Amino acid sequence: MNAMTARALRAGRVRDVMQMQMVTVVPEMTVRELAQTLLDSGIRSAPVLDPAGKVLGLATQADVTRMAFGADRALVLVEGDDSRSDEDERTAARADVLRVRDVMGPVGDTVGSDEPLAEVVRRFLRGRVNQLLVVDHGMLLGIVTPVDVLGQVL
C-alpha cells in the first residue's frame, strides 16, 4: 500500500463512502414477498427493520431457501428436477404463511459511521465479510462494501 492510499484510509470515515440507498424489509412481510423483493432488486440479503428504523436482523436468499423449501427439497431443485409435486404445493403455501421474522437471521457484523476506513478494510480482509451494515445507536444508516472503500482510495 502506498503512502497516499494509507493516508486516505486513515483519514476517511465510513460515513464518507457508505451507500445510504438500500432495500430493507419488515418482519411482517411474507417469505414470498421477501423472495420477490430480493429477486426484483438483484440482491442476496436485506436488513429487517422495525417501524422506527431499528435493525432487527438480516433476511437472505439462503434463509428463504432453507425455511421455505427445506434443505432436502432445495437440493433436488438445484439439481434440476422440474417436476411439480405435492411437496412443491406445500412449499408454495408455506411461502405465503411464513413471515420474514420466521426466517431472518441475526444482524451479524456492523460498523459505526465514524469508524476509520482502515479498520473497515482490516475487517473485510480478516473474514468472509463482503458488506457491513452501518448502524449507529441501533438505527440503520447505510451499508459499506469493499467497492465503496476502493472508490475512496483510487
Q: How confident is the model at residue 22 (pLDDT cuts 50, 70, 90)?
A: very high
3-153 placed in CATH 3.10.580.10: yes
What b/e sequence results for 119-149 when a residue is b if at least 16 CB atoms lie within 10 Å of its CB, and e otherwise? ebbeebeeeeeebbbbbeeeebbbbbbeebb
pLDDT tens digits for range 53-90: 999 999 999 888 877 666 554 444 444 455 556 666 66
Of 45-49, 54-58, 87-91, 137-141, the one with minimum mean pLDDT is 87-91
Share of the chain above pLDDT 70, in %: 77
Position 13 scores a pLDDT of: 93
Of the CA atoms within 13 Å of residue 34, those in its CB half-sphere come to 33
In tens, the pLDDT along 95-120 reads: 778 899 989 999 988 999 999 998 99
Instruction: For the full predicted model, state whether its pTM sits above 0.85.
Output: no
What is the per-residue pLDDT for 78? 42
